[in-house]
Amino acid sequence: MTPDQVRAAMADPVAQQLLNSPILARLAYVARDGTPRVIPIGFHWNDTTIVIGTVPGSAKVKALQANPAVALTIDTGPPAWPPNVLLVRGTATVTLVDGVFAEYVAGAKRVIPVEEFPKWEAGVHALYDRMARIDITPTWVKIHDFETRIPQAVEDLARAKFGGG
């Protein structure tokens, strides 16, 4: 995809709804031992990159420094029907920063209950002297809303089975 196509896809209303929802992303990457990993993770979309914060010495930081290729999904899944799905492939850049950065707090604010947030935020600021900031730059984006956009393989199967163009 071209950068303009990626920007347009990320600006799509379904993508924006998912990027701003209280849903965790699932991040896939390749571990240092060559095996795949997928983890649920909070994030913040800053209109350019998907931003994640974590412990500087974590396994995912070491893995992403060695191999920055990632995939990420955010989806409504059951019980919502039909599901909305945002699929992203991209490149991760890891930067070590002092303290707790604003996008980490913003991402957490969407998923942590309002009444719990002040305690969580105080605890995070007390815990982290440094953080690893992971910026994922999307290079490919696909949206499935299962009303107007479905996976290509399903579309091809339906066309083969029922005809149509």
3-state secondary structure of 127: helix
pLDDT, one tens digit per residue, over 20-52 is: 999 999 999 999 999 999 999 999 999 999 999
pTM of the model: 0.89
d(CA 132, CA 84): 30
3-state secondary structure of 83: coil
Q: CA-based angle 58:137:85, to the nearest 5?
A: 90
Domains, in order of start, for the chain: 3-162 (2.30.110.10)
Contact 70, 89 (CB under 8 A): yes
pLDDT, one tens digit per residue, over 107-147 is: 999 999 999 999 999 999 999 999 999 999 999 999 998 88
pLDDT band at residue 148 under the 50/70/90 scheme: confident
Tokens for 151, please give them: 């996976």
pLDDT band at residue 79 under the 50/70/90 scheme: confident
Tokens for 122, please give them: 């105080």
Amino acid symbol at 104: Y
